[in-house]
Amino acid sequence: MPVSSLDTLFAASIMICLVLSSMIGVFTVIQPLLDAQSSDWRRTDLRLAEYLLSNEGSPSDWGVEINKTLIKFGLARRDAQRPYVLSIDKVTRLNAANRDHIDPLEAFEALNIADKPFQIVIKPLFNVTVNDISITEGESEVTYRFKISTTRLNLPVAAQLKCYAIIGDQIVQRSSSTSESGVGEIELSLAKSLSGTALLVIFAKVEPNVLSYTVYPFIHNSEDSPNRAGSYASLSPLNYTLRAYLRDPSSRILYAKALTYNYQFNLTMIENASSTQTFIVPRILDKSVMILVGTGLDADSSEYFAEWVSYPQVPLKFGLNFTGEYHLTNAYSSRFLVTINSAIYECEVIFGG
């Protein structure tokens, strides 16, 4: 499919989303929707999905107030002026990797529907992948070339790229693009005075608010392998605060950054306890996911490690896995375009029959 057709597909999808949003009513009671005739079950599931994405839930600030009991389950942002604008923190708490995630059973009970299992899937509209091409050692730097591919449903997507390479306190920025074949390249160099795990953070943009990303760890100036994600710290963002839960207090985060398509910022640490570190995340006005990166020195090898997390913490799957008793053949799926932090994502809501 040519790129012009993909652009048309994105535009048409957004128009469909807007048309659907105009049909949304105010749903204050969920249970009566389930009293419809069995022949209307698909319509009922669609309305339930619309409710989840258009209602802020109760309490309306349950995304940031983690100690409050969830009474009604909804993902909409409190000040949303249009449908399908979701709260960055409510979405983040759906990810099981977040320390403050909610239990699916809690959401199921707060939705107040009898025997209606569901799953929510949120992800970028297209995929970004990275492969090594070459490594060239110079006197004071190592130069890397990477191949970058952007696709949707295995079809090529042309995109603008913003790339950051990070190791320790060094950050290198490059811009590039993928062609109509969905393939591009970048080249960058890192200082040989540093060694350890480096991260290549890539943002890909098709439209002003249609983005995707990937984070590619690679080893720099060392014989070891890149550290596994979470081997030094577990990073959990919420309410524009990043908490790092350290695996070993002797290997601490020394540098923390927030990256978006257009901006990069150093994070300010406000707490430095024995097993946790806390940083303030700036409220960046960019139509982009944020990638939060923490780097530090391994206490034994003195080489750099790197940890990262996205904010909102997507992609994610939340709820019941439709296997066994609740097979997908007994489920109904609705897909939506949703907005989180001004960027557009694909959201699938699946209800069991």
- Please report the pLDDT score of residue 1 as a whole number: 42
pLDDT mean over 243-263: 97
Chain-centre distance for alpha carbon 263: 17
Q: What is the pLDDT of residues 119-160, one digit of tens each?
A: 999 999 999 999 999 999 999 999 999 999 999 999 999 999
- 205 lies in the same domain as 232: yes
Beta-strand relationship, 85-86 and 331-340: parallel
Structure tokens given for 58: 């109760």
53 — phi, psi (to 5°)? Answer: -90, -10
Parent domain of 296: 127-311
Residue 195 to residues 67, 248, 293, 301, 313, Cα–Cα distance (Å):
42, 20, 17, 10, 28
Q: Same domain, yes or no, for 260 and 138?
A: yes
Percent of the chain topping pLDDT 90: 78
For residues 131 and 21, give the distance between their C-alpha atoms in angstroms, rounded to a whole number.
40
> Do 116 and 137 fall within a single domain?
no
| Concatenated DSSP letters of 155-180 | EE--EEEEEEEEETTEEEEEEEEE-T
Same domain, 148 and 284: yes
| pLDDT above 70 as % of the chain | 85
On whether both 66 and 101 belong to a single domain, the answer is yes
Question: Could you tell me if 307 and 318 lie in one domain?
Answer: no
- Considering the domain architecture, whether residues 229 and 94 belong to the same structural domain is answered as no
Residues with Cβ within 8 Å of residue 325, at least 6 apart in sequence: none
- 63 plus 115 within the same structural domain: yes
Are both 166 and 257 inside the same structural domain?
yes
286 and 341 housed in the same domain: no
Residues 188 and 240 in one domain: yes
For position 274, which CATH number holds? 2.60.40.2550
Place 332 in a pLDDT band, splitting at 50, 70 and 90.
Answer: confident
Q: What is the pLDDT of residue 45?
A: 87
pLDDT confidence of 117, banded at 50, 70, 90?
confident
- In angstroms, rounded to a whole number, what is the distance separating the alpha carbons of residues 243 and 271? 9
Answer yes or no: do 46 and 147 share one domain: no
Q: Kindly indicate the confidence band of residue 18, based on its pLDDT and cuts at 50, 70 and 90.
A: very low
pLDDT tens, position by position, 34-92: 444 444 667 888 999 999 999 999 999 999 999 999 999 999 999 888 999 999 999 99
Domain count, the chain: 2
